[in-house]
A and B are shown apart, each in its own frame.
Chain A
Amino acid sequence: MKDMVEGYTTPDGRQIGGVLMELKNITLRFGGVVAIKDISFDIREGEIRAIIGPNGAGKSSMLNVISGFYVPTEGEVWFHGQKRPAMRPYQVARLGIARTFQNIALFDGMSVLDNIMTGRLTLMKSGLLTQAMWWGKAAAEEDEHREKVEKIIDFLEIQNIRKTPVGRLPYGLKKRVELARALAAEPKILLLDEPMAGMNVEEKEDMCRFILDVNDEFGTTTVLIEHDMGVVMDLSDRVVVMDYGRKIGDGPPDEVRNNQDVIDAYLGVAHE
């Protein structure tokens, strides 16, 4: 793995590119609590990268560091070969990093369509006055983005609920709408925080298919946190394993599966 600066080819024949984001010696502290301790890994263009670990391992904190919600206490985030300065989450979003949340964070008062349209906010340019008048540019821009959003709606098979207020939808569909909203931003990196939590087998299969299709169709680099080991091992190209804020494994699923530290972390070790 180490020598492949220019990327690699996956067993199923997808071409993975160079390093898109690199996390260097990230440490995150909240007062005395160390959530993440000196973790480094990279994310390559076009790959599906999973972060796994037992509860409280710091996976979500890691995702929050990537999406700019937390600023790491120590360490650097490199994106597109440049060090990313400390910035507000909305600025990170404009760099092309979109995410979904573990506990769905949709806008309940708005329709599915409006929710997904908010995903494209960073790409829409027309100002306050043109919009107030709704002349020429504002209306044309709205149509143009609506067309893109409709493609995502088709892709995720949610055409029939596009005008429904999100608050009325069942859990599984909400998860799908949230994925649609993240996709609408045309992200360079898509962060999924437990996309399959609380779903039944059928919904999980649907979600897996969407994640693979998204990666296949748009070539979106995806970072996901997931508890379902079967899903992780099937979906991801490379896996980072965390435990108590430390990185204990990193590599392709098969390699990680046989790593003694990982097995210990998941199954526990007998203490003498």
Chain B
Amino acid sequence: MFYREAGDFKTSYRADSQTFPIRLDRMGYIAALVVAYAVVPFFIDDYWANAVFVPFLIYAIAAIGLNILVGFAGQVSLGTGGFMAVGAYAVYKLMTGFPEVPFFFHVILAGGVTAFVGVLFGLPSLRIKGFYLAVATLAAQFFLVWLFNKVPWFYNYSASGQITAPDRTMFGIYITGAQTSAVAKYLFCLVILTLVALMARNLTRGTVGRKWMAIRDMDIAAEIIGVNPLSAKVTAFAVSSFFIGIAGALLFSVYLGAAEVGESFGINKSFLVLFMVIIGGLGSIFGSFAGAAFLVLLPVFLKNVLVGALGWPTDVAAHLELMIVGALIVIFLIVEPHGLAQLWRIAKEKLRLWPFPH
């Protein structure tokens, strides 16, 4: 009743294979875009930007990236933090090395560098699968963090070993550095997230996405029908790392402003993004958004309720948060392995009839 596809006829294959084939979905997403671009910027302040919106946007990019690899291509990766670090250090070297190039291109290039590194660490995936690949990517995680700590060239020989984002502007407006306004951070990340989500959707609905999913579902059959497993896996690693690198670059330059590799891009980051993908829904772009929103909002929500409303001590609330997140992940894995995206799908199917029985 409330979610209808009846009467929504398609007269061309193009219309049938569009991103949102159902009119109601289409309208919903257009509304969401309008709110995101035209309403939120007028109300956003520093607290909302730093606590909710900017981290959500950046983690959504990372989650889309990881979802392509884990959810669509079926290659487990625990190296997300390391690849985000590659993006962060690449953008840092580019920003300090070529200040005259617009910042936007730095971010894209940092993604490109990460894609290259991702491919290098993805090559073993041709030989090893599942657990063993997870361990191999875990090695990438630790190796990359070690590398950025060990080689002073990466942090421009700064005494603290930290990297600090220099001030950069676009169209005269600060995007990075201390003077950046909440709106500028928000809009910059939003534009990039929109582009990333569109690209991810286009890739996953076409030939490339089908190759990835074929490899995920049954690699032997995929090879028999003509999928080159090497190129399919390598493109998955490349595209995934490209997005994750962009997320790392934004996290460092726009959100944090300064970063120390072990702290900002450690193994915790890998798990955080992996949890987003699992809770949100493997193999779903919408799920990446949902998972990122869930894991970014949950701590904020719990903190407000436990510390703000109930008056508990901060450290108790922090521990409780860990327990709740952990429990939720276990529950999700058992009850709904396809995550929030699947819950949303079921809700939509129910809404087609509700409140009528037939």
Q: Which positions in A face B, CB cutoff 8 Å? A: 67, 69, 88-90, 93-94, 98-99, 101, 105-110, 114, 117-119, 121-122, 124, 126, 128, 131-134, 138-139, 142-143, 146-147, 150, 181-182, 185
Contact = CB atoms under 8 A, between A and B. Distances in A.
B233 interface: no
Contact of A122 (B199, B210, B220, B226): B226
A67 B202 contact: no
A185 B221 CA distance: 14
Interface stretch (B10-18, B167-175, B263-271): B10-18
A124 B206 CA distance: 10
A185 B224 CA distance: 12
A106 B217 CA distance: 8
A133 B207 contact: no
Main secondary structure of the interface of B (DSSP, over half): helix
Contact of A114 (B210, B222, B235, B239): B210
Given A90-B229, A106-B218, A147 B199 contact: no
B45 interface: no
Given A132-B202, A132-B203, A90 B227 contact: yes
B12 A143 contact: yes
A69 B216 contact: no
A133 B199 contact: yes
Nearest to A99: B224
B223 interface: yes
B337 to A, nearest CB: 12
Nearest to B213: A110
| Interface hub of B14, B220, B225 (most chain A Cβ within 10 A) | B225
3 interchain residue pairs of minimum CB distance: A93-B226, A105-B221, A107-B217
Given A107-B214, A110-B217, A131-B203, 4 more contacts: A106-B217, A121-B210, A126-B206, A126-B207
Nearest to B21: A163
B112 interface: no
Contact of A131 (B12, B14, B16, B207): B207
Contacts of B202: 131-134, 138
B158 interface: no
A261 to B, nearest CB: 32
How many residues of B sit at the interface, in one of the four size bands? 20 to 34
A121 B210 CA distance: 9
A118 B218 CA distance: 12
Interface in B192-212: 199, 202-203, 206-208, 210-211
B226 A90 contact: yes
Contacts of B228: 88, 90
Contact of A105 (B13, B14, B218): B218
Given A109-B283, A147-B13, A131 B213 contact: no
B199 A69 contact: no
Contacts of B213: 107, 109-110, 114
A114 B213 CA distance: 10
A98 B225 contact: yes
B207 A185 contact: no
Contacts of B199: 132-133
Contacts of B239: 128
B203 A119 contact: no
Nearest to A123: B226
A175 to B, nearest CB: 14
A97 to B, nearest CB: 9
Contact of B208 (A98, A106, A107, A131): A131
Contacts of B206: 126, 131, 134, 138, 142
Nearest to B200: A132
Interface string B3-39: 0000000001110110000000000000000000000
A105 B220 contact: yes
A126 B202 CA distance: 13
A121 B220 contact: no
A121 B17 CA distance: 17
B217 A109 contact: yes
